[in-house]
Structure 1
Amino acid sequence: MPIGVGEVAPDFALSDQHGADVRLSGFRDIRNVVLVFYPFAFTGICTGELRALRDHLPLLEGADTAVLGVSCDTMFALRVFADREGLTYPLLADFWPHGAVAQAYGVFDEERGCALRGTFVIDRAGVVRWTVVNAIPDAREVTTLVRAVEELPR
């Protein structure tokens, strides 16, 4: 069961595509966070979604919000993927222990060994303020996500 609105987002530390450690609690009291879980890099729907986030990044960052993508891919695969697609926001490797962060958020598909399309908007206090979880074949709607971020208190 995915974590819900009003719950404190589970903290984590993962490596991004450059090998830097990113900790969710590092954003506390500083920026809101959009946490986007996706199944696999280099796949059609995921690539389209992450490009759409890239294209909407100025709106999200303008709302004092950091975007973090999370998949069970390796850091090395995420580096190639980010470079190829021009993705400048952190892509985090939930590779080992495999899917541990996706499991903590309730969006890990045990059968496929990957994350579902879970999206969590987390405020500066670390509380989930908006969430949606899509099945693997169902792309998320980025404009709805942007509206959710715009409604956060500033």
Structure 2
Amino acid sequence: MPGAVVRDQHGEALRLSELWSQGPALLVLVPAAFSTHCTAELGALARDVDRFDDAGVQLAALSCDPVPALRAWAEERRYPFPLLSDFWPHGAVSRALGAFDEELGTSRRLSLLVRDGRVLWSLRNPVDRPRSPAAHEEVLDVLRAPG
């Protein structure tokens, strides 16, 4: 999975390992661009982006939507972090993470805090239950914890 290459909302190729090459990264998988819960989740992260930046955490979201949909969503909502497309091969990264919903053809709700290629924290929620802002802020506590 770290060697996987995805495209950001501008169509630029990004190797997932580049996300955490400069420090910890929070990768947030969402089912669908423009959906109510996904928009709320990413909106909360966007509002708190300074807290993550101050802690040196790179934020990124990933969905199985195509690049043009992610570009439109990012522009409309002005998300200050990359939106990554797992569109083709469809859901390959989500599958590798055990977070692909075969029935819906989307990513499941999964958040991963990764540092040096190691998962330090994760959170899974059902597709119909968004993650709370407080849940994502737990990663800041994880990074502050000794050891």
TM range (shorter): over 0.9
CA deviations 1:112-138 (Å, max 9, x no partner) are 000111000111x11000001111100
Q: CA–CA distance in 1 between the matches of 2:20 and 2:36?
A: 33
Q: Which runs of 4+ in 1 moved over 2 A?
A: none
Please state if 1:96 is matched with 2:88. yes
Residue 76 (structure 1) aligns with? 68
Q: CA–CA distance in 2 between the matches of 1:60 and 1:16?
A: 20
Alignment match of 1:135 (pick from 126, 135, 140): 126
Please state if 1:38 is matched with 2:23. no
CA contact (8 A) 1:10 1:105 kept: no
Query: What is the correspondence of 1:5-154 to structure 2 with a 5 Å cutoff?
Result: 10-123=2-115, 125-152=116-143
CA deviations 1:81-120 (Å, max 9, x no partner) are 0000111210001000100000011000001000111000
* Percent of matched pairs sharing the same residue: 36
Q: CA–CA distance in 2 between the matches of 1:29 and 1:89?
A: 16
CA contact (8 A) 2:32 2:63 kept: yes
CA contact (8 A) 1:52 1:142 kept: yes
CA contact (8 A) 1:25 1:126 kept: yes
Give TM-score scaled by structure 1 length: 0.88
- Structure 2: unaligned runs, 5 residues or longer: none
Deviation of the 1:13 alpha carbon: 1.3
CA RMSD of aligned residues (A): 1.6
CA contact (8 A) 1:121 1:131 kept: yes
CA contact (8 A) 1:10 1:104 kept: no
Deviation of the 1:11 alpha carbon: 3.4
CA deviations 1:7-48 (Å, max 9, x no partner) are xx6432111001112222224441101000000001100111
The structure with higher relative contact order (CA 8 Å, sep 6+) is: 1
Q: Taking structure 1 as reference, are residues 20 and 93 closer, same or farther at Cα in structure 2, changes over 3 Å only? A: same
Q: Which residue identity lines up with residue 132 of structure 1 in the other structure?
A: L
Question: What secondary structure sits across from 1:53 in the alignment?
Answer: helix
Q: CA–CA distance in 1 between the matches of 2:108 and 2:19?
A: 24
Q: Which residue identity lines up with residue 22 of structure 1 in the other structure?
A: L
Q: CA–CA distance in 2 between the matches of 1:136 and 1:40?
A: 10
